[in-house]
Amino acid sequence: MTELIAEDQDLELEREVPQWLRCDVLDGEAREQAMGMMRRLTVNLRNQTTDQADSTMEEPIDNYLDPDVFKSEVDLIFKRIPLPLALSAELPEKNSFKAIEAVGVPVVMTRDAKGVAHAMLNVCRHRGALLCEGRGSARALTCPYHAWSFSMDGGELKGVYGESTFGEFDKSERGLIELPCVEKHGVIFVCLTPGLVMDIDSWLGEWGPQLASLKLDECHVFSSRMMPGPNWKATIEGYLEAYHFAATHPNTVFTVNHGNTMVFDGFGPHERLGFALRTIDDVVDGPEEAWDPSHHVGAIFWTFPGFSIAGGWRQRMTVALCLPTGKVDESITEHRIVVRHAIDETVQHDLEVMRDWFYDVVYNEDYLTQYGVQKGVAATGGHTQVFGRNEIGVQYLHQTINRLIDENYQEGYTKPRVV
């Protein structure tokens, strides 16, 4: 393993522990798990290695390009699995809503007057206008085109503007189209196929307690910005390895983290990664009682297919959701700053700095590199990429995609190519 620090390179390493890393969310079993990750990370650091897959893996480049493979991903995976389209904290009040486009499908989530979450297609049943955008509060969803209004508890058609002039029709047939929706562990999960049974407990499995331990339902959302990106797999791969830190992020992420070392655990389709913050060097040889994983381990809790909680043990986190648009070569990421403490003017500036730092790093360093990857794969169709043993999280992502397509396969669809 190499850290890629040239001898003459004047690298300013961050060894101070910022105050906001301190966090007491780690208790009981969650703390034990975090300590276990830190123990494994210190062994990897001492041995100058990282968690590894059994072998390298080749991935056919056509899987990033082929519209038929993409259609299989959309129809057999994205339209069938629970998608984490909102944090509970984004609909904090009764009578609130959040609209989002997921895989090209306009969705609105609501919290009704009783506090129950619902999801519907964000499409008016009169003539198809989008009902709302962003987040907000309302007692009903009122269409901006001709002012029909729909209830917050499932989209029943409640009001028709100029009804006496409109003529006869069955209003009960003109409610919004409901989508399966469940709120769990501070996340609102939605399935894009109406009527499909969504078994959230079996989808999360052992990952459920991991998500629960982050106590997302106690958090607040400071900011949310949309970030365009290339193909969803090319984009998400960057979240799942530390191999690129030194080369891609020499003056940002790499000054804070060791590169090319991590601990990895797969939980069904989901992944938990732990990176070594440079502050770990100061405690690695000291007594375990003095360790605090929230200071020294950069943890990524990654829920398939693209929901990344970075720094989930801390007072402040980034929570990203990357999904494809309706096109094979486009993704869109919702990039959020989420905090555990109150948001007031004393922290406003700090949070703005954090928001801009992460957004700039992710977009200017990761995503612009991945736009290059998109051009690269377009020029090398028919060949393969190779994932290293040290890129175990990326290997796991592709194995999971292939497995889910196999499990949900229907005749007529194109399977991803394999080597």
Q: What is the closest distance, in whole angstroms, from the C-beta atom of residue 112 to ligand FES in the complex?
A: 21
Binding partner of 366, given Fe ion, ligand FES, none, CB within 5-8 angstroms per partner class: Fe ion
Q: Which residues contact 135 (CB under 8 A, 6 or more apart)?
A: 90, 91, 96, 97, 98, 99, 224
Residue of this chain nearest to Fe ion (CB atom): 366
State how far the Cα of 248 lies from the Cα of 219, in Å rounded to an integer. Answer: 31
Identity of the amino acid at 36: G
Q: What is the closest distance, in whole angstroms, from the C-beta atom of residue 309 to ligand FES in the complex?
A: 36
Q: What is the closest distance, in whole angstroms, from the C-beta atom of residue 4 to Fe ion in the complex?
A: 14
Q: Which residues contact 31 (CB under 8 A, 6 or more apart)?
A: 293
Q: What is the closest distance, in whole angstroms, from the C-beta atom of residue 126 to ligand FES in the complex?
A: 3
Q: Which is nearer to Fe ion, 102 or 299 (CB)?
A: 299
Quick check: helix, strand or coil at residue 369?
A: helix
Binding partner of 220, given ligand FES, Fe ion, none, CB within 5-8 angstroms per partner class: none
Q: Long-range CB contacts (< 8 A, 24+ apart) of 206-211?
A: 206/267, 206/268, 207/267, 207/268, 207/270, 207/303, 208/184, 209/29, 210/33, 210/267, 210/270, 210/272, 210/301, 211/184, 211/185, 211/186, 211/187, 211/301, 211/303
Q: What is the closest distance, in whole angstroms, from the C-beta atom of residue 249 to Fe ion in the complex?
A: 6
Asked if 23 is part of the footprint of ligand FES (rule: CB under 6 A), the reply reads no
Q: Which is nearer to Fe ion, 245 or 291 (CB)?
A: 245
| Cβ neighbourhood burial of 359 (10 Å; 0-12, 13-18, 19+) | middle
Q: Which is nearer to Fe ion, 238 or 293 (CB)?
A: 238
Identity of the amino acid at 78: F
Interface region with Fe ion, contact rule CB under 5 A, candidates 20-28, 255-263, 267-275, 358-366: 358-366
- CA R_g for the chain: 23
Residue pair 365/238 in contact (Cβ under 8 Å)? The answer is no
Q: Which is nearer to Fe ion, 48 or 364 (CB)?
A: 364
Q: Show the binding pattern over residues 125-164: x = contacts ligand FES (CB under 6 A), - = does not.
A: -xx-x-------------x-xxxx----------------
Exposure of 339 in the CB half-sphere (CA atoms within 13 A): 16
Q: What is the closest distance, in whole angstroms, from the C-beta atom of residue 188 to Fe ion in the complex?
A: 27
Q: Judged by CB under 6 A, how many residues of this single chain contact ligand FES?
A: 9
Q: How many residues does the chain have?
A: 419
Interface region with ligand FES, contact rule CB under 6 A, candidates 45-53, 121-129, 237-245, 266-274: 121-129
Strand partners, 107: 100, 121
Q: Show the binding pattern over residues 219-258: x = contacts Fe ion (CB under 5 A), - = does not.
A: -------------------x--------------------
Binding partner of 146, given Fe ion, ligand FES, none, CB within 5-8 angstroms per partner class: ligand FES
Interface region with ligand FES, contact rule CB under 6 A, candidates 49-57, 119-127, 218-226, 246-254: 119-127
Q: Which is nearer to ligand FES, 143 or 354 (CB)?
A: 143
Interaction residues for ligand FES, span 191-210 (CB under 6 A): none
At 279, list the tokens. Answer: 């502050």
Binding partner of 327, given Fe ion, ligand FES, none, CB within 5-8 angstroms per partner class: none
State how far the Cα of 59 lies from the Cα of 233, in Å rounded to an integer. Answer: 12
Asked if 57 is part of the footprint of ligand FES (rule: CB under 6 A), the reply reads no
Q: Which is nearer to ligand FES, 125 or 296 (CB)?
A: 125
Q: What is the closest distance, in whole angstroms, from the C-beta atom of residue 301 to ligand FES in the complex?
A: 39
Residue pair 110/96 in contact (Cβ under 8 Å)? The answer is yes
Binding partner of 148, given Fe ion, ligand FES, none, CB within 5-8 angstroms per partner class: ligand FES
CA 390 to chain centre: 22
Q: Which is nearer to ligand FES, 148 or 358 (CB)?
A: 148
CA 250 to chain centre: 24
Q: Which is nearer to ligand FES, 124 or 310 (CB)?
A: 124
Nearest to 181 by CA among 74, 109, 103: 109
H or E stretch including 359? helix 345-360
Asked if 366 is part of the footprint of Fe ion (rule: CB under 5 A), the reply reads yes
State how far the Cα of 13 lies from the Cα of 42, in Å rounded to an integer. Answer: 18
Binding site for ligand FES (CB under 6 A): 124, 126-127, 129, 143, 145-148
